[in-house]
């Protein structure tokens, strides 16, 4: 009985040790990437953010609200949004957004612009992909948008259309307003810019100008 119990304990400890090792390895992979290509990639994004070697797409929406500009000084790639929608003047619109960034240590959520209104909608790239463009509709406010995801190519510090896909449409249809594509042309998108108050007045993308 003693030997059987002892064997059971050793097996249990072995399982715990293996599990702990797997968790520790996963954490280490997220917090201390050793891939030199990945390090160079995120270092380049950080340099772009800190030195303002960036370009902006145009912004879709109205002229009101307080301006904002958000990039990560430590280097981050835009991979999605947390979005709140609601009603304004009889139209379904975007009330607030928070960007989601991929960093060398994992994914983080940025600042909220606009307001939280009801349950949030989360649109986020699958692993290995990032935001390359959005297609938006807007008038006096940002009515709605969808996200286009492209594959990340860290070695070339760009995004590639290989396997590209879109999110669902978020927000209102904007009536008869046309859709406006806001694209980085394959450059890494590192932030967002626009204006907000009680709603999202307008929104655009910030990307790393590699030229």
Same domain, 167 and 194: yes
Residue 67, exposed/middle/buried by CB under 10 A (0-12, 13-18, 19+)?
exposed
Banded model confidence at residue 177, pLDDT cuts 50, 70, 90: confident
Same domain, 83 and 116: yes
The per-residue pLDDT for range 16-70, each reduced to its tens digit, is 333 334 333 333 334 345 799 999 999 999 999 998 779 999 999 999 999 999 9
Same domain, 72 and 159: yes
SS3 143: strand
SS3 43: helix
Residue 33, pLDDT score:
56
Within-domain flag for 40: no
As for how many domains the chain has, the answer is 2
Banded model confidence at residue 2, pLDDT cuts 50, 70, 90: very low
> Hunting for tokens 């349950």 — which residue is that?
119
Query: What mean pLDDT is predicted for residues 103-127?
Result: 97
* pTM confidence score: 0.83
Alpha-carbon distance of 147 to 158, in angstroms, equals: 17
Within-domain flag for 41: no
Of residues 17 and 166, the one with the higher pLDDT is 166
* 206 Cα distance to chain centroid: 12
Q: Which domain CATH number covers 197?
A: 2.100.10.30
Same domain, 127 and 159: yes
Query: What mean pLDDT is predicted for residues 160-171?
Result: 96
Domain extent at residue 99: 46-208
Same domain, 130 and 203: yes
Within-domain flag for 145: yes
Same domain, 156 and 65: yes
Same domain, 13 and 57: no
Query: Dihedral sign, CA of 147, 148, 149, 155?
Result: negative
């Amino acid at each position: 009985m003693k030997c059987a119990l002892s064997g059971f304990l050793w097996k249990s400890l072995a399982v715990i040790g293996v599990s702990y090792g797997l968790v520790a390895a996963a954490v280490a992979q997220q917090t201390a990437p050793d891939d030199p290509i990945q390090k160079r990639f995120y270092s380049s994004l950080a340099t772009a953010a800190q030195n303002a070697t960036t370009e902006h797409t145009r912004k879709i929406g109205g002229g009101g609200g307080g301006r904002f500009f958000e990039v990560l000084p430590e280097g981050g790639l835009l991979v999605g949004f947390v979005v709140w929608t609601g009603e304004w003047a009889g139209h379904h619109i975007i009330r607030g957004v928070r960007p989601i960034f991929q960093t060398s240590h994992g994914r983080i959520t940025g600042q909220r612009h606009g307001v939280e209104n009801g349950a949030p909608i989360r649109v986020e790239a699958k692993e290995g992909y990032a935001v390359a463009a959005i297609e938006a509709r807007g008038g006096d406010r940002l009515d709605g948008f969808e996200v286009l995801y492209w594959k990340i190519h860290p070695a070339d510090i760009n995004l590639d259309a290989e396997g590209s896909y879109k999110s669902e449409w978020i927000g209102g249809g904007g009536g008869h307003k046309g859709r406006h594509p806001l694209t980085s042309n394959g450059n890494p998108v590192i932030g967002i810019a626009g204006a907000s108050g009680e709603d999202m007045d307008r929104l655009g993308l910030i990307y790393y100008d590699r030229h």
